[in-house]
Structure formats: C-alpha cells, structure tokens
Amino acid sequence: MNMAPAKILVVDDDPAIRNLIHRFLTKQDYQMESAEDGKSAMIAFEQFNPDLVILDINLPDANGYALCKEMQGRTSVFVLLLTSRTDEGDVIRGFAQGADDYITKPFSLGELGVRVGAILRRQRTVTTGEQQLLTFEKLVVDPVRREVKLAGEFVPLTALEFDLLYFLAKNPGRVWRRAELIQEVWDYEYVGDQRVVDVHIGQIRKKIEIDTSQPALIQTVRGVGYKFEAPMNGDSANASA
C-alpha cells in the first residue's frame, strides 16, 4: 500500500517565488497549498494540516518567526524557513522558534528539493527497538515522549535540538565531526554552512549546562567536533515496558 503524498504549504508574498516552488514540488508528487501572507497562511494551515511549511520570514502582515512558533505549538509540523538574511543572529532566532532548516535566497530548485526530501524523511518517533530512556545523573532523555528533564524539570527543546541531543547522548564518548552530525541528524549532505551545528549545540547548552563557558555534558573537541560526555557515575537504563 502506497503512503499518501506529503502535504506542503508554501508561504511567501512574492508570487513568482511562491508559484515556482508550488509548481516544482507538485511535479515531485507532493500535495501542495500556497499562501501569500500570515493571515491566509494560518487559515490554510488549519484546513490543510501540512506535514511541512516552507515559510518566508519577511511577510507583509506577520513575523515569520512568530508564525513558525505558533504553527509548531499546534502540531508537530516541520518548518523550512526562507530567508534573504545570512546573519547568524537571524539563523539562531529561527532555530530557537523551532525551525527544522533554512535556505537562503536565491536558491536552486534542486537544493530546495534535497532539503525538503531530507526533512520529510526525518522521523520524530522511534521504533520499538530504540525506545531507550537515557539517564545521566540529573539529565533524563526520553525518546518515546520526546521529552528531556533536568533535575526533574522539563527542558523546552525544539524538535531539532531534541534530535541532536538524543543522538549525541545515545553515543556517549564518541567524537562526531560536524559533517557526520549533519549526515546523521539532518539526514543529508548539507550544502550550507556547517556552523549550523554550532548554533544548535549552543542553544542546547544554554538549556542543559550549568556553565556554558565550561560545558560538562556536550564538549567541544577542538579541531574535530563534539561529543557527549556522561557524568562519571551516570548511566543509561532501558525504559520500562
């Protein structure tokens, strides 16, 4: 039985870009809807219930970051931001609101197709064999509920932050290069700046590290990448059935 085609909502006030993306992805067998501003985007979002939203940051009547946060607060929708901005602060802000990826204008349709396919292949649920509760002293990572607790308090992570933390935590002590993390977590050969990994690591550290200037859990291996270092008396335990 074939799976239903993924549903994608394109939100951009530039009709040329909006129609180009719409036509291109329709030919890739995705089910498409479009919107030109924030108001029509939310109406379409509620009616269409998309799997992915391709969202322009600069809309005439709405803030793209706020729309991203609102949409992800309602469903587990994936969000790919369209931006003409390359400033790292803008990128950090987008990811902090829950964006899964971003692409900078101008872009090629081929690159867009790769990004879209990779995002939609990512699974926000885990198989039965991977339902392992990870416990490291005060830090608990639950892949079934997709929740993280620190000293009993919930840690608010975006979907991509959770994916990255869980991947590192289930491979403690292993050093990962940025390109390897992108391949494993983003699930494709990333064509953008690999500092996107640094942005996410920085966001996670703010939420789980006592001292971000001297991180104890997610450590930087200079010249190589990152590793998750379990506390000396921490351990991992299987989730109870």
pLDDT of residue 185: 86
User: Is the per-residue pLDDT at 211 higher than 80?
Assistant: yes
How far from the centroid of its chain's Cα atoms is residue 169's Cα?
A: 17
Q: How big is the CA angle at 73 (ends 72 and 78), to the nearest 5 degrees?
A: 10
Tens digits of residue pLDDT in 142-158: 988 888 999 999 998 88
Percent with pLDDT over 70 in the chain: 87
Distance CA 16, CA 12 (A): 9
Q: What is the pLDDT of residue 49?
A: 93
Query: Closest Cα partner for 18 from 49, 46, 48, 40?
Result: 40
Q: How far from each other are the two terminal CA atoms of the chain, in whole angstroms? A: 30
Nearest to 39 by CA among 75, 74, 70: 70
Q: What domains are defined for the chain?
A: 7-121 (3.40.50.2300), 128-228 (1.10.10.10)
User: What is the predicted pLDDT for the residue at 188?
Assistant: 63
Q: What are the tens digits of pLDDT across the range 13-54?
A: 999 999 999 999 999 999 999 999 999 999 999 999 999 999
pLDDT of residue 84: 80
Amino acid letter, 160:
L
Q: Which residues contact 170 (CB under 8 A, 6 or more apart)?
A: 132, 134, 236
What percent of the chain has a predicted confidence (pLDDT) above 90?
A: 51
Q: Where are the beta strands (DSSP E) in the chain?
A: 7-11, 31-35, 52-56, 78-83, 101-104, 134-136, 139-142, 147-150, 153-154, 176-177, 218-221, 225-228
